Amino acid sequence: MDSTAIKKELIKILGKDKILTEELDLMYYSYDSSFLTKLEPVNPTAVVMPRSTEEVQEVVRFAFENDINIVPRGAGTGETGGCIAVNGGIVVDLSTWDDIVEIVVPDMQVIVRPGVIHSDLNDQLAQYNLFFPPDPGSSKMCTIGGMVANNASGLRAVKYWATEPYILGLEVVMPNGEVIMTGGMKARAIKNVSGINLTKLMVGSEGTLGIITQIRLRCFPKPKARGIGMAVFDKLDDAPATVLDVYQNGILPSGIEILDNSAIKAVNDFKPHINLPDAEAILLFEVDGTPPGVNYEGSIIKEVAEKRARSFEWSTDEKRMTELWEGRSVTATAAARVRADGSRIFAGEDISVPLSRVADTLRAIRSLGEKYGIKVVNYGHIGDGNVHTAPVINPENPDEVEKVLQLVDEIHLLAIEMGGSTTGEHGVGAVRRRYAEAEHGNAVDYMKKIKAAFDPKGIMNPGKVF
């Protein structure tokens, strides 16, 4: 079926208001936040914006019957090209479907449609003293559907882990148009080990197994207090050693972040008023819970950190906590400021390594940057070994583009070599699928078999994950 016929049929199914067909409009769906799509944006055949399970079903049935690829998309904030129709097809933009269906306070859960924005959800839950703990850096723009599809996490994964443990059940439109409910048809229970866990299988499957149209999420009680500690180190190795010491003293902070020397410089260049101390590394600890608990944990972290740190500051004052955290909050974009004609690119940006290898990894990345003559800014969630690397290049210089692609290739392979993963929380998408076999070996064959069982025609988000 040619693209004109596809567009006509989709208009028949959804009406003109929920579909984009003009080539110019389709260009707006050729990118996400990845470097890949900066280099090679790919237009879909059409974009649809369904607002009900039935509408999604009709679109998927039509695609299934006519062997047309389907690519689910949230807010397009991903860094892997995961929501791009790299092999052509219909992009299903779910970001407009943003209803909070029900906040079930007595059962400590909430039911949402996929387009709900993470921070909006937590704003609503706060009225009931509840929260959905995973805390991605893109909280103000990413959708819950996107978080589920990528099993996203973020700054508080140390204590609260990723999205997956909070997903109690899903409504999914399967690749043939059938609708299933995972986690129990009528379930409102929190614990459930009945049957093969299809919920777990769907979470993090990046749109390759079906389209998630409704999500039942577990909520936690919202902590009443928090505190922030900043430790400044003259030696890089002292930072991960302190993290381990904190754990061994019985403390599990909600977040532990690192900025290495490159990130500290970038932040100070970008926002001089932040004025981070010049150091080899800075650690930021976030603790939450009850007020006495937070103060106790803060005192232990202080005692432990001061064994190695040049300085340590602890605060539970809202204003001061915001100031202490500000450097970390701007790092992702501050990176671009390390050179005037530079652009921070999202590639090789999400490796995860064992805690014991973080310092070695940061040093190795620094060496790789020097090898290719590319500035690399490092920061990330050291509490769980998730390192964010930010290469900065002039993307309009083909020589630099070629070199940075080699650099990020080496960074991904380095992560595997260190006993880690090519991605800790951003996903595989189109950009990291080439490492699937190096990372998973013959387990990839079984991933493919599962995919084939769910999606025999291979229409669901092809060209992703493996």
Partner 1 sequence: MEFKELPPVKEQLMKCVRCGKCRSVCPVFAEVKNETAAPRGHVFMVQMLRDGKVEPDKKVLERLNMCLMCESCTINCPSGIDIHELNAAARSYIYEKNPNTVKELLFGTLWTHPSLLRTSMWFMAGVQKLGLQDLARTLGLTKILPGDLPKAEKILSAIPFRCARRLIPEINQAKGEKKYKVGYFLGCGTDLFNPQVAVATVEVLTRNGCEVIIPPDMKCCGLPHIANAKMDTARELADHNVKLFNSYDFDYIVTDCASCSSALTPKNMMFLLGGSEIEAEALTFANKVIDLTKFLVDVLDIKPSEKGKVKSTKVTYHDPCHLANAQEIKEQPRELLKRIPGVEYVEMQEANRCCGGSGTYSVTHYDISMKILDIKIKSAMETGADKIATCCPSCMMQLRHGVARYNWNCEIVHPVELLNQ
Residues of this chain that interact with partner 1 (CB under 8 A) are 20, 22, 24-25, 27-29, 31-33, 38, 47, 49, 75-77, 93, 95-96, 117, 138, 140-142, 270, 330, 332-333, 336, 341-346, 394-396
Residue 28 or 446: the one with the smaller Cβ distance to partner 1 is: 28
**Measured distance CA(121)–CA(98) in Å, rounded:** 10
Label residues 394-418 b or e (16+ Cβ within 10 Å = b): ebeeeebbebbbebbebbbbbbbeb
Residue 126 or 244: the one with the smaller Cβ distance to partner 1 is: 126
Q: Which two tokens stand for residue 303?
A: 């005692």
Residue 141 or 355: the one with the smaller Cβ distance to partner 1 is: 141
| 18 three-class SS | helix
Residue 47 or 304: the one with the smaller Cβ distance to partner 1 is: 47
Residues near 318 by Cβ (< 8 Å), separated by ≥ 6? none
CA distances from 407 to 315, 376, 390, 428, 453 (A): 39, 10, 11, 18, 37
286 and 155 in contact (C-beta within 8 Å)? Answer: yes
Residue 42 or 236: the one with the smaller Cβ distance to partner 1 is: 42
CB of 142 to partner 1, least distance (A): 8
Residue 59 or 305: the one with the smaller Cβ distance to partner 1 is: 59
For every residue of 409-446, DSSP letters joined together read HHHHHHHHHTT-BS-SSS--TTTSGGGHHHHHTTHHHH
Start-to-end Cα distance in the chain: 27
Residue 3 or 119: the one with the smaller Cβ distance to partner 1 is: 119
**Measured distance CA(236)–CA(242) in Å, rounded:** 11
CB of 270 to partner 1, least distance (A): 8
CB of 336 to partner 1, least distance (A): 5
Q: Which two tokens stand for residue 205?
A: 């499957």
Indicate the DSSP class of residue 16.
Answer: G
**Measured distance CA(404)–CA(114) in Å, rounded:** 34
Residue 83 or 276: the one with the smaller Cβ distance to partner 1 is: 83
Residue 305 or 332: the one with the smaller Cβ distance to partner 1 is: 332
CB of 392 to partner 1, least distance (A): 11
CB of 75 to partner 1, least distance (A): 5
Residue 32 or 238: the one with the smaller Cβ distance to partner 1 is: 32
Q: In 249-317, where does DSSP find H-type helix?
A: 261-270, 291-305
CB of 88 to partner 1, least distance (A): 18
Label residues 298-321 b or e (16+ Cβ within 10 Å = b): beebbebbeebbeebebbeeeeeb
The phi, psi pair for 4, rounded to 5°, reads: -65, -45
14 and 50 in contact (C-beta within 8 Å)? Answer: yes
CB of 400 to partner 1, least distance (A): 12
Residue 141 or 300: the one with the smaller Cβ distance to partner 1 is: 141
Q: Are strands 100-104 and 375-381 parallel, antiparallel or unpaired?
A: unpaired
CB of 161 to partner 1, least distance (A): 24
- Report the run of H or E that residue 125 belongs to, with start and end: helix 118-126
**Checking phi first, is residue 88 left (phi over 0); if not, alpha (psi -120 to 50) or beta?**
left
CB of 198 to partner 1, least distance (A): 30
Residue 240 or 427: the one with the smaller Cβ distance to partner 1 is: 427
Residue 251: count other Cβ atoms within 10 Å of its Cβ: 17
CB of 267 to partner 1, least distance (A): 12
CB of 94 to partner 1, least distance (A): 11
Question: What residues does 287 pair with on adjacent strands?
Answer: 227
107 and 186 in contact (C-beta within 8 Å)? Answer: no
CB of 31 to partner 1, least distance (A): 6
